[in-house]
A and B are shown apart, each in its own frame.
Chain A
Amino acid sequence: MYTIPNTLKREIEAFSREITDFQSGTIEPVKFKAIRVPMGIYEQRNNGTYMVRARCAAGVISPAQLLGVARIAAKHGCEPIHFTTRQELQFHNVSLEQTPAILAELYDLGLSSRGGGGNTVRNIMASEDAGIATGEEFDVTPYAVALTNTLIAEPDSWSLPRKYKIAFAGNESDNANALFNDLGFLATTLNGEKGFKVFLGGGLGSKPSAGNLLFDFLPASDILYVAEAVKQLFSEHGNRRNRHKARIRYIFYKLGVEKVFELFHGYFNQLKQERKYPLNLPEMPASTSQPNRLAHDGSRAFTLWAQRYVNEQRQQGLYSVEIPFEHGMAGAKTLERLSQILIPFGPGCLRLTMRQNILLRNIPGDQLQSLFHLLNTIGIEISSPRILNSLVACTGADTCRLGICLSKGASKAIKSRLSTLDKLTLDKVSNFRINLSGCPNSCGQHQVANLGFYGRASRNERLYPAYYVTLGGQTGWGIARLGEMIGQISARDLPVFAAEVIELYASRKEAYDGFDSYLQAGGEKEIGQLLKKYDEVPSFEEDKNYYFDWGAQELFSLTGKGQAECSAGMFDMIDFDRDFILELQKKIKESFHETATSQLLYEVVFHASRMLLVTRGIEPKNREEVFTAFKDDFIREGHVDMKFGPVVQLALKNPEGNFQEYQGLIFELASSVIELYNSMDDSLQFKVKQVKPKSESPENEAQEKRFKDFRGVACPMNFVKTKIELAQMHSGEFLEILLDDGAPINNVPGSVRGEGHDVSEVKNVENYWSVLIRKK
């Protein structure tokens, strides 16, 4: 229902040409990616397959559009269609060649993928029940659409430091998670005037935060000024260098709330003076349905369904109906038939929800019975308790490049475990939110779930899939809080644990106001104790199942995972090695048996060598590779001292060798590696100075360039001494030497070059020569 700028058509055509250029090698992959992602096209985990994401402002999509979407998916073979937690829809498993056609067909439907990804203004969200909810202040839908229309027509919306997420909620209870968006609007009224409480700098993901209250009351007509001012503020003060610290909340972390607000008001006042952004609310399709009283056959099946999935609207005689899709996945055929059923209810009868479902609205009470029947005939699963259909999981490691765990598989396993529970129990907790993310990014919104999980890689000699467990996340003005991490659990035990939590809470629920008050009254402790049972993970030999993720055919590994954003999984691996080293050192200090001590010391060398390899993208397959890679990438690169070379070499050549005599050196090696890790910054660079071999002459330490006067030193000793100097230097360092005229200057530079060094400069000074050498 938003208005696509007329530039998009040309952009799609240009993109089609860019694909050809990319495939013919005229555009570099990196550059092409920078074009592709802001078009809403992501590469999936399997190289060469792509995902196309289309925006649906405020979650609005008409049945006719949905029908078109279903047909595009069927035509191009990119099923299932995926509904996201940001009220968008996605096509998966698309080939690059198909994308221009899909974009063009979406364009004809009035849908755009522009800004579906990358550092852009993302889909603007709104409460799924906006316009129909009993408790709302006013319908926020037109505001979300108006803001979309303005922002997507501006080219600078596509080149921000990072993504810019905006959401609108109909009241202060914030069922749109507006407080956890970069910019959030909560509808409010003041003396009858429509307006918003405005929050800036919220977000889930790394360093999550609720937004800061920017306006207690902003007249509704000013929302474009606010969004534009924030865009300018973001564009000019956001961190463009480090994408992990780029979201708007990081400007707050850096400058403080006061300073950011001051900056904001500077931009805001300027824009207000220019009066460039008057608000034009779009016309939204009105309900064409004739309200009517509920009428049905009184069957138990219908009654249960109505209890679970049907809600009364503010408009009497009209009802909203939730259509569940497992993980937001819908087949093209199902969607096509659903769209056809819905067309009679008018263009405004559909919203995409943040739970990856569809919410129908404006269904007259007397038509629910036939709708129930129709939904059953098209194979939508509506006979099970709602909680089974409101589990949220991101797509996880099976398509996402950043994923660690197969969150959808785990969610399916939870569902089948929960299905074994009594339905009465499940219906008691039908609003309970269980969310899973496959990695610490929060696409599964685990941080606002009652019970949340986010994926990690754990190690128990071998890697196994596991999740951190969070409890009690919620949104809402004044009560918003992030779920608290209470521990971790293996992916294998997760479904059983989740079912136990549900059973426990269902049995306690009546005594409390809600999950939050149960948690505060001892529930957190109770659940913590449940979790403790799963601390132990059997070894690979005892039970291999723990080492396979849900739905995986192969042993769990991090292969194929992107390097950048999934660093948390990487840190887990590093921490494992570090903790293991510390434990070994303790054992060694207590050990009196020589062979055993030697073995333990060998293990220290192994773990110290392996610990940081992952930061260099190295995944060694065996111990030999660990030692070799450590020598190449850490010792030779100068990250750790060369003196550790022999002991690593010994470990490589002879694991059963005598390591005892090197105990001091080995402990020193462990400390060096741990110190290096502690000095590592977010971009995985080490801040510890590169280790230099000890030098006798202190003046050499101070100056960048070394200097030696070899005048009066005959051939070949002058060359020998030059080599000795060079041997103490690092690659890239400079050495200036003075040489006599004659044989020395005729021979030494050539010999130096012969060893691969760079002779940068040869200067004649009076009767001698100055030669500048850059070590290879």
Chain B
Amino acid sequence: MNFTEEQIERYSRHLILQNVGVEGQQRIMEGKVLVVGAGGLGSPVALYLAAAGVGTIGLIDGDVVDRTNLQRQVIHFTADLNVPKVESAANKIKLINPEVKVNTYKTLLMPDNAFEIINDYDFIIDGTDNFPTKFMVNDACVMAQKPFSHGGILRFEGQTMTYVPGSACYRCVFGGPPPKDAVPSCSQAGVLGSIAGMLGTIQATEALKYLVGTGDLLTNRMLIFDALKMKFREVNFTPNKNCKLCGEHPEIKTLEMEEMPACDLH
């Protein structure tokens, strides 16, 4: 517990805070969080985690910044066009907090690299934009017994839940990806930019709470909001004994990417 004077100043509002305090900040600084997807959700998550002093932040994303991103992916600036997203985000993190160690992976999270990457982290943020990847993140985390935060946004709505080993997983609730065309994606249906900030900051908060070890996580419940009406609601559930992944008779034994339903709404 050797805080430098600079650290004491930088983190003073955490240090003062009951439930975080010196020990909690210490845990944040020892924490390792992986952000899957440096887009709409990943941006606020990475910014807040960096500011909070999370020891290691991993960023994984295979894309480069394009102009359509800038409406909501606030970690990327206009000057970053065509720069790999992980690089753009890493630069901002360093500017916010030089103490944070950043690992960048300019690739997609796939069954063949998922375990290797997530194994190094204490907590995983799902900031991806498609169902097959969301389920794969879920499967990888459940198999590796890693806690993670699921998040999804569309139009004016968002939903999020947190998994820790033993709690209900994303598959317990939804089983598998929806049939193709049943749910449009952001690129087809649009999204209000600030919704990404609303949901991403909730995910960042869950990660920090987990690292500190305080409060009640969003486990066994899904938080859903509708920003048009500005109403929040919760749906409770329990681990599903018929879950194909973590139920009593699991069928999914190896990590696979389920077939990406090509979207015909284009």
Contact = CB atoms under 8 A, between A and B. Distances in A.
Contact of B8 (A654, A724, A726, A751): A724
A594 to B, nearest CB: 13
A717 interface: yes
A755 B119 CA distance: 36
B148 to A, nearest CB: 14
Contacts of B232: none
Interface stretch (B15-23, B91-99, B125-133): B15-23
A259 interface: no
Given A717-B9, A720-B15, A724-B3, A653 B21 contact: no
B165 interface: yes
A723 B22 contact: yes
B16, B21, B119: residue with the most chain A Cβ atoms closer than 10 Å: B16
Contacts of B165: 653-654
B145 interface: yes
A728 interface: yes
Contacts of B188: none
Interface in B218-246: none
Contacts of B9: 717
B2 interface: yes
A696 interface: yes
A696 B2 contact: yes
Given A654-B145, A717-B9, A723-B16, A728 B21 contact: no
Given A657-B145, A723-B21, A727-B21, A716 B16 contact: yes
B1 interface: yes
Contact of A755 (B2, B3, B18): B18
A547 to B, nearest CB: 30
Contacts of A538: none
Interface in A20-45: none
A719 interface: yes
A721 B8 contact: yes
Given A653-B165, A751-B16, A755-B18, A727 B1 contact: yes
Interface string B1-37: 1110000110010011010011100000000000000
A656 interface: yes
A727 B23 contact: yes
A693 interface: yes
Contacts of B1: 693, 724, 727-728
B12 A717 contact: yes
Contacts of B22: 723-724, 726-727
A696 B2 CA distance: 8
A754 interface: yes
A724 B15 contact: yes
B16 A720 contact: yes
A653, A657, A720: residue with the most chain B Cβ atoms closer than 10 Å: A720
A656 to B, nearest CB: 7
Given A724-B8, A755-B18, A656 B2 contact: no
Contacts of A693: 1
Contacts of B119: 658
Contacts of A726: 22
Nearest to A658: B119
A197 B37 CA distance: 93
A588 to B, nearest CB: 22
Interface residues of B, number: 15
Contact of A656 (B3, B8, B15, B145): B145
Interface string A650-678: 00011011100000000000000000000
Contacts of B15: 720, 723-724
Contacts of B2: 696
Nearest to B23: A727
Interface string A168-188: 000000000000000000000
A657 B120 CA distance: 12
Nearest to B8: A720
B87 to A, nearest CB: 29
A619 to B, nearest CB: 24
B21 A717 contact: no
B223 to A, nearest CB: 24
A656 B119 CA distance: 13
B20 to A, nearest CB: 10
Nearest to A727: B22
Nearest to B164: A653
Contacts of B18: 754-755
B162 to A, nearest CB: 15
A758 B1 CA distance: 23
Contacts of A754: 18
A724, A728, A754: residue with the most chain B Cβ atoms closer than 10 Å: A724
Contacts of A716: 12, 16
Nearest to A649: B213
B39 to A, nearest CB: 30
Interface string A715-755: 01101110110111000000000000000000000010011
A155 B3 CA distance: 66
Contacts of B8: 717, 720-721, 724
A440 B119 CA distance: 51
B7 to A, nearest CB: 10
Interface string B112-123: 000000010000
Nearest to A721: B8
B21 A719 contact: no
B100 to A, nearest CB: 20
B34 to A, nearest CB: 16
A693, A696, A717, A726: residue with the most chain B Cβ atoms closer than 10 Å: A717
Contacts of B21: 723, 727, 755
A726 B21 CA distance: 10
Contacts of A728: 1
Given A654-B165, A727-B1, A728-B1, A720 B12 contact: yes
A728 B9 CA distance: 18
28 contacts: A653-B145, A653-B165, A656-B145, A658-B119, A693-B1, A696-B2, A716-B12, A716-B16, A717-B8, A717-B9, A717-B12, A719-B16, A720-B12, A721-B8, A723-B15, A723-B16, A723-B21, A724-B1, A724-B8, A724-B15, A724-B22, A726-B22, A727-B21, A727-B23, A728-B1, A754-B18, A755-B18, A755-B21
Of all A-B residue pairs in the complex, the 8 with the closest CB atoms, nearest first, are A727-B22, A720-B15, A720-B12, A654-B145, A724-B22, A716-B16, A723-B22, A720-B8
Interface of A: 653-654, 656-658, 693, 696, 716-717, 719-721, 723-724, 726-728, 751, 754-755
Interface of B: 1-3, 8-9, 12, 15-16, 18, 21-23, 119, 145, 165
Given A717-B9, A721-B8, A727-B21, 8 more contacts: A696-B2, A723-B15, A724-B3, A724-B8, A724-B15, A726-B22, A751-B16, A755-B21
